[in-house]
A and B are shown apart, each in its own frame.
Chain A
């Protein structure tokens, strides 16, 4: 079974631009969540989607947004990029349903965003 796939793996943007990152979850997983990892702040929760609905959101400005499609694939978008948005963005999926809630998240390899 294929793991969580994130694209692109690396990208460089300039301040003020926007970026879209993509995540394909493990087949059958309907929950997708996003995390930002930086040396200073560590790993921080961005948001979680389940069956195309945002179920929860972390403490990030409105420039950070996301969505989930009917096939459970998810995208996150960051508009008006700032230098501080440089980070590794991790996507994770989980299997949820009757008798299947283990709480475990399966992570992708991440998208490394550099803002110049």
Chain B
């Protein structure tokens, strides 16, 4: 079974600085998706960024980028120019891309604090 591990329960960063959230996963599959979801205090889970395992190029969405290392099964999220609105729980998630796929497997989350 696949597992997702986020080793940092909490991270703190100064506003405008850069922070990197770590995620490792374990799977025997070769085709899958990886995601970073953000859950602010309002609770609604919002997709931050996604990566398809077959793509070598790291995904980027504005201030958010990932470092995807398939061989190492590592998928870290870098947030540049941190803003107060980035404060939230961040969840790394895995999903097999095959037919009849299971749901998402989530890590335990990292609570990101933005210091003004």
Would B103 and A102 count as touching, CB distance under 8 A?
A: no
Q: Is B64's CB within 8 Å of the partner chain A?
A: no
Give which listed residue, A45, A109, A110, contacts B104 with CB less than 8 A. A45
B103 contacts which of A58, A88, A104, A106 (Cβ < 8 Å)?
A58
Contact B103 A107 (CB under 8 A): no
> Interface range on chain B: under 10, 10 to 19, 20 to 34, or 35 or more?
20 to 34
The A interface is mostly helix, strand or loop, or mixed, namely strand
Q: Which of A45, A55, A102 contacts B50 (CB 8 A)?
A: A102
Asked if B91 and A56 make an inter-chain contact with CB atoms under 8 angstroms apart, the answer reads no
Please tell me if A25 contacts chain B, counting CB pairs below 8 Å: no
Q: Mark A81-110, 1 if CB is under 8 A from B, else 0.
A: 000000010101000000001111111111
Question: How many A-B contacts if CB must be within 8 Å?
Answer: 60
Determine whether the beta carbon of B50 is less than 8 Å from that of A56: no
Query: How many residues of A are counted as interface, with CB atoms below 8 angstroms from the partner's CB atoms?
Result: 25
CA–CA, A106 and B37, complex, Å: 10
Contact yes or no, B43 A88, CB < 8 A? yes
**Cα separation A105 to B37 with both chains bound (whole Å):** 10
Q: Contact check, B50 vs A104: say whether CB atoms are below 8 A apart.
A: yes
Name which of B20-28, B65-73, B105-113 contacts chain A: B105-113
A108 to B91, CA, bound (A): 16
CA distance A42 to B89 in the complex (A): 12
Residues A103 and B103 in contact, CB atoms below 8 Å apart: no
- Does B35 count as interface, using CB distance less than 8 angstroms? yes
CB proximity of B53 to chain A, nearest CB, Å = 10
Is residue A75 contacting chain B, with contact meaning CB distance below 8 A?
no
Assuming the contacts A88-B43, A90-B45, asked whether A105 and B109 have C-beta atoms less than 8 A apart, the reply is no
Given pairs A42-B107, A56-B101, A103-B35, 5 additional interface contacts (CB within 8 A):
A43-B104, A43-B109, A56-B103, A58-B102, A58-B103
Point out residues on A near B: beta carbons under 8 Å. 33, 35, 42-48, 55-56, 58, 88, 90, 92, 101-110
